[in-house]
A = this chain, B = another copy of it.
Amino acid sequence: MSRPKNDTFLRALLKEPTEYTPLWLMRQAGRYLPEYCETRKRAGDFLKLCKSPALACEVTLQPLARYDLDAAILFSDILTVPDAMGLGLYFAEGEGPRFERPLREEWAINNLSAPDSYEHLGYVMDAVGEIRRALDNSVPLIGFSGSPYTLACYMVEGQGSSDFRHIKGMLYNRPDLLHRILSVTADAVTSYLNAQIDSGAQAVMIFDTWGGSLSHAAYREFSLAYMQRIVAGLQKEKDGQRIPCIVFTKNGGLWLEQIAAIGCDAVGLDWTVDIGEARRRVGDQVALQGNLDPNVLFAAPEIVAAEARKVLDSFGPGNTGHVFNLGHGISQFTPPESVTALVEAVHGHSRLLRK
């Protein structure tokens, strides 16, 4: 199977020359799009939307119909894996995700096992296949998973948290129990991402949303080590094409050198890092993805364009190694016109910079 017609995203990740800087947006299929809200309403609730391959495919394609984006990303939730482990994912109205059975008892942790990705997460693999067919080789499809530590945060806390005191209490008091959770989860994520690759994902990304809440030492031991294990276990090629892997730890700017060394192809950056400085620190080893503050998209179009140009200018000269993105998911309150301004600015200015 050949590369997609627009393979700029894949080439940038693999540090092959590109004519412009490709971009996609974390959470690009989301509530800022009226058509997404429409489909979600039709689905009934968020989980039904995730679990229906047809609807997941529909919303995955929506931002690509509106904007000249260089990649699609599978529409799903990061908590599908612990849900498949039997923790009982649900969404309380107007609140974030919750688990019916938070993981805190030793017996429950000992009983934890990695789900079969095809049997228990077949709806995700079906969605990947359906999206690939619908994309018809136009742009690449990104598969993804939460990192083991990020998934464990939700599994142990039972919901989002501002202090993570249950999981941190376990980390310091019973590191053996947390290592057991992380080990099983890392196996589950490896199998899950490999199944996505087998089903058609052309790149994969690991979202480590909460690793940045750890101390420098705990980050290495409880988050990075498990992402390294996953990266080592990933299928590297499919049909003769390299499958690049992106690792993103939010608030991980202090640890870029360590992240870049785990064998991934690219490192995601949030907006607290100057991307030019990040490139000087690790740019020989990996491609970089990022890193505009999503709140810039609340500004007028000319300001959006100016801020996007600053990121490109900071990355500096060269014709590859950068995938433009936000430093975090796009806000549900974003005016859709802002994204038009952003896409034009990134594509236009990066072409100019290559001249």
Contacts and interface: CB of A to CB of B under 8 A. Distances in A.
Nearest to A160: B162
Contact of A272 (B164, B214, B293, B303): B214
Contacts of A218: 293
Given A165-B331, A254-B254, A272-B254, A172 B215 contact: no
A40 to B, nearest CB: 20
A274 B216 contact: yes
A172 B303 contact: yes
A108 interface: no
A169 B272 contact: no
B271 A215 contact: yes
Interface stretch (A21-29, A126-134, A294-302): A294-302
Contacts of A303: 172-173
A212 B254 contact: no
Contacts of A271: 215-216
B254 A273 contact: yes
The interface centre, meaning the residue of A216, A219, A307, A310 with most chain B CB atoms within 10 A of its CB, is A216
A4 interface: no
A253 interface: yes
A216 B273 CA distance: 6
A185 to B, nearest CB: 20
A76 interface: no
A217 interface: yes
